[in-house]
């Protein structure tokens, strides 16, 4: 089957989509990895309209991500962000290889942090540090909540982190 036909058949019709968007309002933006094992709308059982999602391989933070967040805050009234990288992230493993060179200073700082942290805690540290960077980038706005979490694709669970610890 062609990919277009496959997705054409799976495309929900208006009525089903309408049902899932009833009474929903934007609650948070999830910033996460492009990994197919991690689907924020499914993980959080969210209807259409509840979550904004920004994804790239590794959940890297850079100017593009910050610009999107600024737009969501200013244009759509976003007031909560969840930074959610994940365990067993192949994109991050690739990103910290010495051959990679990223333009964004935030990305470089984050990866440096990841490299310097002992393996067992590395992804938690990465998530906490990333959430702080997001908070910094949104510091001009009032009352924006930024949370950090780590998704475990094997346990299929979210570990919530307290960024102050
Ligand atoms: Zn990943």
Taking alpha carbons only, the member of 161, 152, 100 closest to residue 132 is: 161
In a domain, 7, yes or no: no
pLDDT (0 to 100) of residue 163: 57
Residue 135 within any structural domain of the chain? yes
Domain contains 61: yes
142 C-alpha to ligand 1 centroid (Å): 31
**Ligand 1 centroid to 92 CA: how many Å?**
6
- pLDDT for the residue 165: 45
- Exposed, middle or buried by CB within 10 Å (0-12, 13-18, 19+), for 41? middle
Distances (CA, A) of 64 to 83, 97, 100, 142: 15, 22, 18, 21
96 belongs to a structural domain: yes
pLDDT value at residue 21: 83
CATH number assigned to the domain comprising residue 47: 3.40.1050.10
CA of 151 to the centre of ligand 1 (A): 10
The count of structural domains within the chain is 1
CA pair distance 9, 13, nearest whole angstrom? 10
| Count of CA atoms in the C-beta half-sphere (13 A) of 101 | 1
Determine the structural domain holding residue 108 and report its residue range. 24-161
The length of the chain, given as a count of residues? 165
The tens place of each residue's pLDDT in the chain, 165 residues long, gives 899 999 999 998 888 888 888 888 999 999 999 999 999 999 999 999 999 999 999 999 999 999 999 999 999 999 999 999 999 999 988 888 777 778 888 888 888 888 877 776 789 989 999 999 999 999 999 999 999 999 999 999 999 997 554
pLDDT for res 162: 78
Residue 19, domain member (yes or no): no
For residue 16, is it within any domain? no
How far does residue 18's CA lie from ligand 1's centre (Å)? Answer: 31
Nearest alpha-carbon partner for 160 in 58, 82, 78: 82
């Amino acid at each position: 089957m062609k990919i277009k036909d496959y997705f054409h058949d799976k495309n929900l019709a208006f009525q089903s989509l309408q049902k899932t968007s009833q009474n929903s309002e934007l609650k948070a933006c999830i910033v996460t990895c492009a990994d197919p094992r991690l689907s924020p709308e499914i993980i959080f059982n969210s209807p259409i309209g509840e979550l904004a999602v920004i994804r790239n391989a590794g959940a890297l933070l850079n100017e593009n991500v910050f610009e999107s967040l600024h737009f969501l805050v200013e244009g759509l009234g976003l007031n909560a962000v969840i930074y959610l990288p994940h365990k067993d992230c192949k994109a991050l493993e690739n990103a910290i290889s010495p051959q990679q060179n990223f333009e964004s200073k935030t990305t470089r700082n984050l990866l440096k942090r990841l490299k310097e942290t002992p393996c067992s805690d590395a992804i938690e540290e990465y998530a906490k540090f990333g959430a702080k960077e997001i908070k910094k980038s949104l510091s001009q706005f009032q009352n924006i909540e930024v949370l950090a979490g780590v998704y475990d694709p094997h346990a299929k669970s979210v570990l919530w982190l307290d960024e102050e610890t």
